[in-house]
Chain A
Amino acid sequence: MDAPESESPPVSSSPITSISASAVDDPLSSPYASLNSHCHDLSALQDLACRGAWRTILDKVARSRSLSLLSRPHEHLIYLTFNVLALVKLRRFADAQQEFETLDDDLGSKQYLFESFPDQYPNQKPGSMVPFALRWLHAHLPFTLGDRQLSLDRLYVLLHFIRDTKLSRNRDSVTEISIDLWKKRETFVINSIVSHHLTLKEFKVCLYLLKSETGKTEDPFMVSKLGYVQMQYGDLEGAKRSFELVEKMVEKSEGEDANLNLKNLVGRNKALIYLVGKDYVSAVREYEECMERDASDFVAINNKALCLMYLRDLSDSIKVLESALERVPTVALNETLVVNLCSMYELAYVNHADIKKTLSTWIARVAPDDFDTSCTRI
């Protein structure tokens, strides 16, 4: 049985380790054969999360714990992460904080390292078994409890942790995949930081952070976000330049075969430029092209409805949103879309309470557990 040829050999290549590595690589007995062999019933947890069944996840975690179904340390950590995430999704922030209190303050402590359990992980390369999302949730939680500043501080600390200890390692000692994952995590943390600064209207900081990000990755989506920030504080000329840059990037990289997402990105950006120039008719046309290419482009759907309103066509704007909820509910059922629809109801109907109640009832039947029903303003 061969060890994977493409990978560099494990750092400690003693004969015993090599033999064990070969034995472990048997697809039938490998701990990496499937999600479930890696961790108890993990694919079920994953599936529940995709369906938005967060309350069920809480039950499952509780049951797994009480029935002692989790045998290995890393399984406890993964289940704990899902538990915290579920509580945060359900906006039960104080309970999430309590979960964290069962952990060591320092997520880098020995008890969360593979090498602390040589019996459980005889062949595993040393490292942390903490799912990265748990670190991020730890940084995010203070904000949910009212302390945004502490969250920002923790996010910056996390960013430095990634840069100083993970991304600065010798490329020969870690896999490509690992470096790649840490680069994605770096972007993830920077994006969270920008999001906070954006809510605080600290636009210049956002621009600075986004500029350095776009410098690193040639991502047309990132440049578009920069354009949205410029639009948000009113620099229309700047936004136009950003969107033109996006168009160039998309043309250069993929040309006519650009995938659906990129084509719609360019289309939606064009529509925004028409919109701020008050040419709502052209904006609607661009959004309709996007919807023809991708019927689940809910940003195009939502924004088209708003354009119709600015064209004095309240009835059609309502129809666009209602039909989207009917046709593609799992995509269109978005809190912002519902806020817009309710604003339209309040304008269109003197007795809007009734129609909002109907909407609310439908949402209760269809929506995932984490849907924030306060958006209907009932």
Chain B
Amino acid sequence: MTTLTRQDLNFGQVVADILCEFLEVAIHLILYVREVYPSGIFQKRKKYNVPVQMSCHPELNQYIHDTLHCVKPLIEKNDAEKVVVVIMDKEHHPVERFVFEISQPPLLSIRHPRPTPIRIPSDTLLSHVEQLLRAVILKISVCDAVLENNPPGCTFTVLVHTREAATRNMEKVQVIKDFPWIVADEQEVHMQEPRLIPLKTMTSDIVKMQLYVEERAQKAS
């Protein structure tokens, strides 16, 4: 296993880029699979050499794009602990939460007394990561099997679990104009009687990610 350090911001940027791209694909796919929006607005596209579904609706795309644009600086600094896609029913009670737990390897390698030099992710490493991300996407495609159907009229939102300092920063500095981030409500964060369904774990040299779903036991309100 290669030992990589994150002394240089560029490495963090590379990882953040990869993760944000992946999250964008994953969010679109979740919206498609869980039928949050009608399937007619989705289109087949290619990512990681496999077909994925992506929406055509410009406002939806812009919303997801802006959301992840704001999340990216957090991921760069390894401040984002979890990124959660919450699907809520008409009363804004969450019915499903797709939780992406993200962790990145520590800043300095513990094994060596001196910090090892920066190694930009190699081609083989990136193609390995691509393979792992492909597997996660495949798992999302078939998560229907383990989840119950959602009630009609659902909406979605994206939450980020991060540190308090980062929260204050986000409130202070608007990364995108007119796209403010606010602290989430308690009811959006916690679910009544959740059922935990693990979907996929992914471990690589540059990032570790775990995807699981918290599902409300009784979805029909």
A and B associate: no
